[in-house]
Every structure is written in structure tokens, then in C-alpha cells.
């Protein structure tokens, strides 16, 4: 009887482990180019943006992060009723990132203007952006109106 009990418990643990392993991370991007290609193309390896408008708190929430083992992306645009993760978020963000062409030498005003225009929210009440450029330099850009 003890053997049967341990066999059932062992099977349950194995099944749970396999199920959890198969779930994966919903923010993970599986269809992205290599990290070095993205870093060269975008100029950054991490991008975290939050924009509030007078009518909508968290109107835009975009995050993108790539490290050695994986790339993650999330994009929520409440103004357009979009809430995307993983490959869908990356597909939406990729053309925006390519057009931005941000560099670490740009002024705060230029970065805020380019990013707010790219995301279609020029009339904001709060703008917060954190970027880690490809060389590891971290910069933060904030504006409150």
C-alpha cells in the first residue's frame, strides 16, 4: 500500500512540474532577432515607459527588456484598448523603436518629444522613461505638466 501511495504522489509531482514548465513566461518574446541585432538596431537593451494623460492614468505602459537568455515585452495602450505581451507586444513596439533612433547624447527635451510623438501622446500630464542603452548606460527622463 505504501508503494502505491508514493507512486501516486510522485506522479502528481511530476505532472505538476511538467505543467508549470510548459506554461512559460507570457512576456517572453520568441520571434525576435538576436539580442545583438536588436541592440544595434534600437540602440538600447531596456526600455520602460509610463505616460499619464489628463483623462487616463497609465495611458501608455510599454516595457522591453533583453538579456543574455531572453527578451521580454509588454505594451498597454489604454487610449487604443491594446494590452499585449510577448511576441504581440514586440511586433507592435519594434517599428516604434526603429523609428525612435534614441541615443544617449540626446537632450531630455528631444527624447521626451520623440517618444511622446511616437506613442501618440503629446498632451500628457506625466511622462516617465527609463532606458538602458546598449553600452550599459542607464538614463531616466521625466516630465510633469
In a domain, 10, yes or no: no
pTM of the model: 0.78
In a domain, 23, yes or no: no
Encode 3-42: b = buried (16+ Cβ within 10 Å), e = exposed.
eeeeeeeeeeeeeeeeeeeeeeeebbbeebeebeebeeeb
Domain that holds residue 92: 35-144
Our count of domains for the chain comes to 1
pLDDT of 100-139, one tens digit each? 999 999 999 999 999 999 999 989 999 999 999 989 999 9
In a domain, 3, yes or no: no
Q: Is the pLDDT of residue 12 over 50?
A: no
The helix (H) or strand (E) run that includes residue 61 is: strand 60-66
In a domain, 90, yes or no: yes
In a domain, 84, yes or no: yes
Identify the CA nearest to 68 among candidates 32, 34, 23, 29.
34
In a domain, 107, yes or no: yes
d(CA 39, CA 28): 17
In a domain, 20, yes or no: no
80 in Cβ contact with 60 (< 8 Å):
no
pLDDT of 18-59, one tens digit each? 334 444 457 788 866 666 666 678 999 999 999 999 999 999
pLDDT of 64-114, one tens digit each? 999 878 899 999 999 999 999 999 999 999 999 999 999 999 999 999 999
Amino acid at each position: 500500500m505504501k508503494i502505491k501511495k508514493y507512486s501516486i504522489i510522485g506522479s502528481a509531482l511530476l505532472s505538476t512540474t511538467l505543467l508549470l514548465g510548459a506554461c512559460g513566461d507570457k512576456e517572453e518574446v520568441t520571434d525576435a532577432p538576436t539580442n545583438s541585432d536588436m541592440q544595434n538596431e534600437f540602440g538600447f537593451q531596456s526600455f520602460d515607459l509610463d505616460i499619464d494623460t489628463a483623462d487616463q492614468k497609465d495611458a501608455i505602459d510599454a516595457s522591453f527588456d533583453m538579456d543574455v537568455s531572453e527578451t521580454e515585452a509588454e505594451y498597454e495602450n489604454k487610449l487604443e484598448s491594446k494590452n499585449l505581451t510577448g511576441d504581440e507586444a514586440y511586433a507592435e513596439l519594434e517599428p516604434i523603436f526603429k523609428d525612435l533612433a534614441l541615443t544617449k547624447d540626446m537632450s531630455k527635451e528631444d527624447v521626451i518629444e520623440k517618444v511622446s510623438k511616437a506613442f501618440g501622446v503629446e498632451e500628457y500630464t506625466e511622462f516617465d522613461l527609463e532606458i538602458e542603452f546598449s553600452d550599459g548606460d542607464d538614463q531616466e527622463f521625466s516630465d510633469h505638466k
